[in-house]
Amino acid sequence: MPVILVLVDDAARDDNPARDPLLETLRRLFPWARVVAVRADLALPLIASEGATAVVANLSTAARLCREAIPPGVPVVALTRDMSPDTLLRAEALGIAGAVRAPAGAEQLAAVIGPLLGAPPRDHR
């Protein structure tokens, strides 16, 4: 079963309301995957122990993970409000697998994360 790790900011509260819609959307789009929210500061050891298939994080956290040598073969998807060509080129240079404009919509998540899981989502709505 594929595992999507959604990283939340270290300072984020456990009941972060902005995160809940993202988690629910991912669960609906990819019902065959396990979607797990984890604190960003705990990410590196959990990526391996949870068997992450893909990681979703804000752009700064995604960049940090790529600089800190995320395990090979685990793609990182960045959520960012800035989709400028410069930002996307910097993300690509760091090894970030894809970027989705925040707040993330179902269609964008399906288009970027679906191929990383090896199967297209059943429902984009």
What is the rounded CA–CA span in Å between residue 82 and residue 100? 9
pLDDT of residue 11: 52
* Model confidence pLDDT, tens digit, residues 45-97: 989 888 999 999 999 999 999 998 888 889 999 999 999 999 999 999 999 99
Structure confidence at residue 121 as a pLDDT band (50, 70, 90): very low
Domain boundaries, the chain: 3-117
What is the rounded CA–CA span in Å between residue 33 and residue 10? 24
CATH class of 3-117: alpha beta
Q: Which of the two residues, 32 and 20, has the higher pLDDT score?
A: 32
Joined together, the tokens standing for residue 40 give 């960003």
* Model confidence pLDDT, tens digit, residues 83-120: 999 999 999 999 999 999 999 899 999 999 999 998 65
User: What are the φ/ψ torsions at residue 83 (nearest 5 degrees)?
Assistant: -105, 30
What is the rounded CA–CA span in Å between residue 123 and residue 125? 6
Q: DSSP letter string over 58-103? A: EHHHHHHHHHTTPPTT--EEEEES---HHHHHHHHHHT--EEEESS
**Which residues share a beta bridge with 5?**
36, 55
